[in-house]
């Protein structure tokens, strides 16, 4: 007999009409084929392993795959409160080697807890893992617990790149808090030498031919991929092959104020108001003052973003993926219209704004999936100005600022304001620049009392 189904009121998806426990909410994202995955970083110190770990984790969480980094260095700092010198990392320092192994095992215990009891899908084990003995220990741990393993090795032999990484990131670490930069640099280079002597790179042609892995060579100049097991691993590979570390700036802004903004209507395809046109002119002046080389300009395919871009006197590219969230049956309606004509939908959206899907429309979750190609291309580019819409800008901003799905729908993205994003070592610096053209306020704070909420946005 066909199974009876019930439609979820918030997400508008069909669910079995029985008493089976619901899947964890975040399982609505891309699914692992069979079992959780441990991503194992490999490489000498100052090769960008933590940079890759944090950036990849930010991406995976954004697309809906619960991911967490387990940095063994942090466990070591907790176990050894005061770092003295590189002697701690010498391979003949037996006492220190015991401590380091205990720290690795403690991190693996937390990995197991996260993947088996905390609904995690991917754990990133961030450490040097430079010997076959250490990687074998991790493989045995994964086998015992039924976890998949994917190795990411960062290889870089350019001394300039390594020195730059040490100066920008390592010298500011807690290990060197009370140390001058010259002494810290000397100590850290000796620390690298301690690992160099026993380093056994991954060998996909012989010893490691059965392992799933990617070798990232010289900060993305070349890649070597071996035995990708599933969809998630292929997406990880694709992502790593698109990111770069060149200095650049990303500018995000909404279109100028529209006629529908003035009327309080959502969606639609209206043109700019008079103040919106003034913003477009002001944006042109702002862009000229930035004096950027080879600035790319992207818009949606809706009239209000294209009108804004036209004032820039620059080539621009239209992306359908950048169109505003589809409000379905609520398109071109005011909040008051929605409250009167669709009171249940009006209330449901406040309950879970990220997962709520408009009837015949989209949710923020749908929007994230739609915007993934935009993120991939943004990672490939250098200087870009994206002229988009409120919900779209929130999704893009959440990616760069590592905001959760719960926070995303309430990020403030006011009209006539440019957000300047500058990628830094382990994150992104954001600067909010108002162009001083008045506009209506379309932001709505998270309702304090869900039952008495007044309007969705």
Which positions are catalytic? 126, 156, 255, 324
Dist. CA 18–CA 271, nearest whole Å:
48
Taking Cα atoms as reference points, which of 254, 257, 292, 291 lies closest to residue 272? 257
DSSP-assigned states of every residue in 321-387: GGSPP--GGGTT-BHHHHHHH-HHHHHHHHH-TTT---TTS--HHHHHHHHHHHHHHHHH-SSEEEE
CA dihedral 238, 240, 245, 247 (to 10 degrees): 30
User: 396: closest CA among 316, 303, 321?
Assistant: 321
Kindly tell me the number of DSSP H helices and DSSP E strands found in the chain. Answer: 14, 14
Q: What residues have CB less than 8 Å from 29, skipping those under 6 apart?
A: 63, 64, 65, 365
Sign of CA dihedral 409, 410, 416, 419: negative
Distance CA 405, CA 410 (A): 10
Q: Among positive and negative, which fits the CA dihedral 173, 174, 177, 179?
A: negative
325's CB contacts (< 8 A; 6+ apart) are: 267, 358, 361, 362, 363, 364, 366, 367, 389, 391, 392
Which of these, 286, 39, 264, 11, lies nearest to 147 by C-alpha position? 39
Q: Cα-flanking dihedrals φ and ψ of residue 443, to 5°? A: -80, 145
d(CA 47, CA 334): 53
3-state secondary structure at position 96: helix
CA dist 370 and 64 (Å) reads 13
CA–CA gap between residue 409 and residue 316 (Å, rounded)? 27
CA 438 to chain centre: 32
């Amino acid at each position: 007999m066909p199974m009876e189904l019930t439609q979820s009121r918030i997400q508008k998806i069909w669910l079995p009409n029985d008493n089976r426990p619901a899947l964890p909410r975040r399982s609505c994202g891309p699914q692992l084929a069979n079992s959780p995955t441990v991503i194992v970083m490999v490489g000498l110190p100052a090769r960008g392993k933590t940079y890759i770990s944090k950036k990849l984790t930010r991406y995976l969480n954004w697309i809906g795959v619960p991911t967490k980094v387990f940095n063994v260095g942090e466990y070591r700092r907790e176990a050894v409160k005061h770092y003295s010198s590189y002697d701690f990392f010498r391979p003949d320092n037996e006492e220190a080697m015991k401590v380091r192994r205990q720290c690795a095992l403690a991190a693996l215990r937390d990995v197991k807890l996260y993947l088996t009891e905390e609904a995690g899908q991917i754990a990133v084990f961030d450490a040097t893992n430079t010997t076959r003995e250490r990687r074998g220990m991790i493989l045995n741990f994964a086998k015992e617990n039924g976890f998949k393993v994917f190795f990411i090795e960062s290889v870089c032999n350019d001394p300039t790149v390594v020195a730059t990484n040490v100066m920008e990131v390592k010298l500011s670490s807690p290990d060197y808090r009370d140390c001058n930069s010259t002494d810290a640099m000397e100590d850290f280079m000796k620390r690298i030498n301690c690992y160099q002597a026993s380093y056994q790179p991954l060998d996909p042609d012989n010893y490691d031919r059965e392992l799933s892995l990617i070798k990232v060579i010289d900060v993305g100049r070349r890649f070597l991929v071996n035995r990708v097991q599933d969809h998630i691993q292929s997406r990880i590979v694709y992502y790593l092959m698109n990111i770069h570390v060149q200095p650049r700036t990303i500018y995000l802004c909404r279109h100028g104020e529209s006629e529908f903004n003035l009327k309080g209507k959502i969606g639609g395809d209206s043109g700019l108001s008079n103040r919106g046109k003034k913003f477009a002119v002001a944006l042109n002046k702002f862009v000229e003052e930035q004096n950027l080389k080879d600035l790319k300009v992207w818009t949606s395919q809706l009239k209000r973003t294209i009108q804004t871009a036209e004032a820039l006197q620059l080539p621009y590219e239209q992306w359908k993926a950048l169109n505003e969230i589809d409000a379905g049956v609520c398109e071109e309606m005011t909040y008051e219209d929605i409250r009167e004509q669709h009171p249940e939908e009006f209330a449901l959206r406040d309950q879970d704004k990220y997962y709520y899907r408009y009837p015949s429309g989209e949710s923020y979750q749908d929007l994230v999936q739609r915007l993934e190609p935009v993120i991939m291309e943004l990672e490939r580019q250098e200087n870009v100005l994206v002229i988009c819409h409120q919900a779209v800008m929130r999704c893009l901003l959440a990616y760069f600022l590592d905001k959760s799905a719960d926070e995303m729908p309430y990020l403030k993205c006011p009209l006539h304001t440019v957000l300047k994003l500058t990628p830094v070592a382990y994150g992104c610096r954001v600067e909010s620049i108002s162009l001083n053209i008045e506009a209506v306020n379309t932001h709505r704070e998270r309702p304090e009392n869900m039952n008495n909420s007044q309007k969705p946005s």
